[in-house]
Amino acid sequence: MHLPALPVLLPFFAAVLILFPWFNKRLMWQRVVTQLAFVMLVGISCVILFKTLTGAPLAYALGDWEAPFGIYLLADPLAAFMLVVTSVLALCTHLYACGSDDKTGRFFHPLFLFQLMGLNGAFLTADAFNLFVFFEILLIASYSLLIHGGGRERTRAAQHYVLYNLIGSAFFLIALALLYRAFGTLSIPHMALLAPQLAEESIPLAQSGGLLLMVVFGVKAALLPLHFWLPRTYSTTSISVAALFAVMTKVGVYSLWRIHTVVYGHESGELSDLGVEPLAWLSGLTVVAGSIGALASQTLRWLIANLIIISVGTLLMTVAMGTTESVAAGMYYTLHSTLMSGAFFLIAGLLLMQRGQAEDRFVRSRPLVYPVFTGVLFAVAAMAMIGLPPFSGFLGKVFILQAAVASGDAMWVWPLILLSGLVALISLSRAGTTLFWRTQGSVVPEAKEKVLITHRISAGVLVTTTVLLVVLAGPLTEWSVQAAEELHTGVTLQFLNGGQP
C-alpha cells in the first residue's frame, strides 16, 4: 500500500507541476492546483489516522529497500495526528494567502507545497538521517517564504532565523555521526531496540549524540535560551506564512517525542531519561520567558508569537515528565495550540487590513469595518488560548495537570500552567479592549475591499476548530492515549522488526 508515501509525494508533484511555464504564468491555476492538493491531503491524512487507530501502523519502504538500509516511512497514530493538524492548517492558511499574500512573488505556491512536503516527511520518517533531510527541505522553503514580498524588516528577521537554523543543522549532522558510531544504525526503531544492550564503550557517544540532538530540537522548538529569533521572525513575515509556521515549533517537540521518548525512554538502560532534568528546568523557564514577553508585547502579532513560546514550554514539560499520560496530554494540547495560534495570526491579518496605519499595534485607531465578526473570532480564540472552559485550551491544560499529578510533577507544573493562563488572560484582555474599543474617526475607506470572503472563511474555519476539539474531546483523548501507549510500549518497533533487532 502506497498510502504512507502520499503525504510526501502529493505536495512534491503538485509543486513541480505549477513550476511549469504554463502554470507559472497563471496565478489562478496555481491557486486551484495547490488548494486541490491540500484538500486531498486532508482526506489522505484522515484515512491514515483512521487506519492507524483501528489497525497496525502503516509502513512503507521506498524502492522496497527495507530498514535500516532504505528510506522508511512509518505512519503510526502520533504521526497521523500531526499530518491531520498540519494539512488542516495548511488548507486554511493557503486559502487566506490566495486573497493577497501570493501576489507579491512568483513562487509562493510551490514554496508553500515544498514546506508541506518537508513537514509531512519529518512526521513520517522512521530514520534519524532522513529526519535531517526533511528538516532541510522544510527549512529551505521556510527561508524563502519568510522574506517573500521583500522588505528590510523581513530580511533582517530572516537573517537571525537562517543563522540559528544553519547552526542547528550543523549540530544535527554531528549528532547523527555520533549516534551512527554508537549504534551502527540511524533507524529509530533499531536504535530503540539496541539502547538497553549497548556496549559500554558506546554509551558516552550515544549520550553525547542524544544531548546534541536535544539542543538541535530545542532550536527548532524555540526552547529557552534558543527562542529569541521567534517573536521578531513571526511578527514581520506575511500573515499566512506566520500562521503556517504555528506548526513549525511543534516539529521540534514531535522529534523529541519520537527519538528521546523511544530511544532514551525509561527502559533504555544507562541511556534512560537522558537530559530530562535540564529539559524540565528549561521548559519551565521558557514558559516564564514567554509570559514576560506577552506582558511586554506592543502588537498583536508579537503577542501571538510569545503565546506560541508559552505553548512550546508547556509541551516541553510533557516531554520532561516522560509518561504515557503526559505524552497523550501533549498530543491533544498540540492540536489545540497549533490550530488556535494559526487562527490568531489570521485574525491579526483581518485587523491589519481594517485599522489602517495603526495596523495591529495596541493604540487608538479607526473603527473596524467588520467589528462583530472580527470581535467574535477574537473572543473565541482568546478564550481558547487562555484556557477558559469549555474551550479546547481548558481541556488540554486539565489533561496536562492530571498527567502531572500522576507523574509526581504537580509541584512545579501546576504553578507554571496556572501562571501562564493568568498572563494570557491579562495580555489578551488588554489587547482586545484596545483593538476593538479604543476607536476614533471613521472606518478606513479601502478596508472593505481588502477584506475578502476568503480571508473571513479561512479565519472562521480555523477558529471553529476549537469547538470541534471540544465536541470530539472524548474520542480524541482516547486516541491520544492509544498513540502514546504505542509510542511507549514499542508496538511500532515490533511491527517493523518482528521483535528482533
pLDDT at 122: 92
Tell me what pLDDT residue 377 has: 94
Alpha-carbon distance 314 to 318, whole Å? 7
Q: What is the rounded average pLDDT of the residues 360-377?
A: 88
Lookup: cell for 405: 499529578
Q: How far apart (Å, rounded) are the C-alpha atoms in residues 365 and 442?
A: 9
Answer yes or no: is pLDDT of 37 > 80: yes
pLDDT at 303: 93
Tell me what the mean pLDDT of segment 328-343 comes to. 93
Rg, C-alpha atoms of the chain? 22
- pLDDT at residue number 501: 39
pLDDT of 492 reads: 56
Arithmetic mean of pLDDT over the chain: 86
Residue 167 one-letter amino acid: I
* pTM of the predicted model as reported, rounded to 2 decimal places: 0.92
479 within 8 A of 51, measured Cβ to Cβ: no
- The pLDDT, as a whole number, for residue 44 is 93
pLDDT tens digits along 433-458:
998 888 887 777 777 778 888 889 99
pLDDT (average), residues 241-269: 86
Identify whether the C-beta of residue 202 lies closer than 8 Å to the C-beta of residue 182.
yes
Average pLDDT score over residue span 13-34 = 84
The position carrying cell 482526506 is 43
Decide if pLDDT at 67 tops 70: no
Position with higher pLDDT, 78 vs 59: 78
Instruction: Return the domain boundaries, the chain.
Output: 1-274, 275-491
168 close to 222: Cβ distance less than 8 angstroms? no
Cβ–Cβ under 8 Å, residues 313 and 283:
yes
The answer to whether residues 164 and 226 touch, using CB atoms and an 8 Å cutoff, is: yes
Quick one: average pLDDT of 51-75?
77
Asked if residue 331 has pLDDT above 50, the reply is yes
Q: Average pLDDT for residues 333-355, to the nearest whole number?
A: 92
* pLDDT above 70 for 483: yes
Q: How confident is the model at residue 366 (pLDDT cuts 50, 70, 90)?
A: confident
